Chain A
């Protein structure tokens, strides 16, 4: 067997890919391992929303930096592209309750650095002619956009290979012994450091190291239309965050918002709930009436990880030297490449551009990680 890698990153989603890429760029010999194919779980099937208006306030400084990274991805990732597109974002309120929610959330997000201004319905329609009448208030953020998330694996692959990352797809890791011998289906892999980047499977991965880190699993539903004539030109949501709408250059409109389907860690995304499918598309049709003319062609599911406080788990694993974790970032796709970069900075012994999200706060006292 070969000499140990400087670092093994387990989980080849956007967090793992960007961490591995920047570690390799920092001079480390890196192996990136996934039980499946690169970016084929949440990173490849999410709504690709690069918005500030659904991002948790604490993450906005990170999301703003990541937004820039997505738009310039071809420059830092060997030409890889997710067709990131910048456009204005609108978060609209149809009811008094939503107005109150929007005012509060826009204020908090603005304080966190998102340049959100509140405008009336008429002004919102000037920005987004596809928007329905009846909007009482809208949050307008000029920094918004979207990507084609399904391109993420293809976009990262060449950059990773060019940087010298050893990519091991379809190679399930069964466990980790000592520091650090990975028991994989392709044989043992040794590394001086490990980064756990397993999305909703972080709970299982942490358990390899004897760490108890509860991770909640969200089963987000998405729906897409057939190609349509241009109907809208913004990323559009409602104040509750339970709708996200955007039209891609190919004419398809993606309808999301985190409506929940059926699934779990063990089985993946099992099924779309028809009643939530209906609720989600009703919200969409209410917001952009021209969508009523569309045919829906596909729905699918993506699994999103959430910690107990819904804030990220990014940093060293307490009590285990040279073991790191990254994941559970709310709207994680939006912030993903920047999160990978700052973790790589920390692993490389540099000061991260922005603070990490240490997981000490999330570990049970009973944890045997000491």
Chain B
């Protein structure tokens, strides 16, 4: 089925983009992996769950309601595994409509085509490796958020929350509210960093108040909140039983059955890499991001990126960037007119939201000193069991780029395809070579975007109908 516009990813950016485009007359389809649109911050509870509405839920419901009323076609619960068309054509051929190959919620494969594509693919969680980070009981901060928010599930009974950024306090407060103990909060940021971020956060008094409330609850519950602290090891026989935390020169051991740890968010660029869009390395935006103009246009015609996947700015900034992308796409496709006033209004909204969002993104940016502290025996690529020592050996053996590192070590060649380890591996390779991290590049983007069950995409076929090309000469 041919659409004017496809939006990949139904978080706040994607919902707003699809809503804007559809309500302005574009035939629009939104594809989302979760059963309901919302993304991670504004996620909806699963069907049958009753959860107390909070501010995020209300904001998410408003975006969901607008989307439902917009006329955009919704394909939720689907896994998009293949992307094609656009610039991916033989030399000299005209660009094609974009194609998205997906598995539907019903397990049936389908394909959609669209003249323009807005990528709102969000982020991956960054975890800078430490010994024991692969133990059962250790989960990401964002993963903990999903458990707590979407499912009302606690990650453990006695939880250490560690890492960087505002999620730290959100998760700790929710763990407490859920009835579990928070054994410690270990914030890699110092108090000074938070103080320096305050002026930017003043643009969002609501967030400041919420942050203060979270912190007050933790203090009231007697939770030790450690600043300038990092986890040096997660330990236990088969599962996590204790966490070693280093704070201002003092190491302490904290008993815990869960560790929620995250060191920021990394924009998900699988799709823009696959389309060979130009990327820039911008640590303050989360790492590699597609190069964008003021209309959220990538370097590939009719391909746009918005939300945190285009550079981490937070959920509050995402809808405006999604709408700006939609308006640019409508203008480029020649659909409707008079978009300029709306664009200016959204650009102003984006600028406002970006101030606080950028301050938080800086707090969550990759910290070179944490990369430097990764022990040599620590596993970096968990799929393939590649340690820092193996990465350094590969560098000594001549691996200069991330693509070459894969060949030397299989780092990033497992099921996650480097989503989990790629950034840390790149930083460690760059460190070993003594070059800036941008110089080691990123892995080539290829489909499938996610591991795809072969049985599901095969469909029904007859052997005779497989379009086998002519064999090579004998």
Contact = CB atoms under 8 A, between A and B. Distances in A.
A300 B445 CA distance: 9
Nearest to A259: B469
Nearest to B448: A296
Contacts of A258: 469, 472
B88 A297 contact: no
27 contacts: A56-B473, A56-B474, A104-B474, A150-B407, A154-B408, A158-B397, A226-B415, A242-B468, A262-B89, A264-B90, A272-B446, A273-B84, A274-B84, A277-B82, A281-B454, A281-B457, A282-B461, A282-B466, A285-B458, A291-B454, A295-B451, A296-B451, A296-B452, A297-B414, A297-B451, A298-B448, A310-B473
Contact of A274 (B99, B397, B464, B466): B99
A117 to B, nearest CB: 18
B331 interface: no
B455 interface: yes
B453 A283 contact: no
Given A153-B404, A264-B91, A277-B82, A299 B447 contact: yes
A279 interface: yes
Interface residues of A, number: 64
B88 A262 contact: yes
A140 interface: no
B458 A281 contact: yes
A101 B82 contact: no
B67 interface: no
A260 B469 contact: yes
- Counting from the closest, the 4 A-B pairs by CB-CB distance are A271-B88, A295-B451, A150-B407, A292-B455
A365 interface: no
A154 B397 contact: yes
A267 to B, nearest CB: 7
Interface in A200-233: 225-227
B413 interface: yes
Contacts of B444: 300
Contacts, number: 138
A162 interface: no
A299 B468 contact: no
A40 B468 contact: no
B84 A298 contact: no
B76 interface: no
A241 interface: yes
Tell me the interface secondary structure of chain B in the complex: loop
A298 B417 contact: yes
Contacts of A38: 398
A241 B400 contact: no
B109 to A, nearest CB: 9
Contact of B398 (A44, A56, A157): A157
Given A274-B84, A283-B466, A297-B415, A154 B407 contact: yes
A118 interface: no
B87 to A, nearest CB: 8
B454 A293 contact: yes
A266 B91 CA distance: 9
B447 to A, nearest CB: 6
A40 B415 CA distance: 22
Interface string B99-118: 10100000000010000000
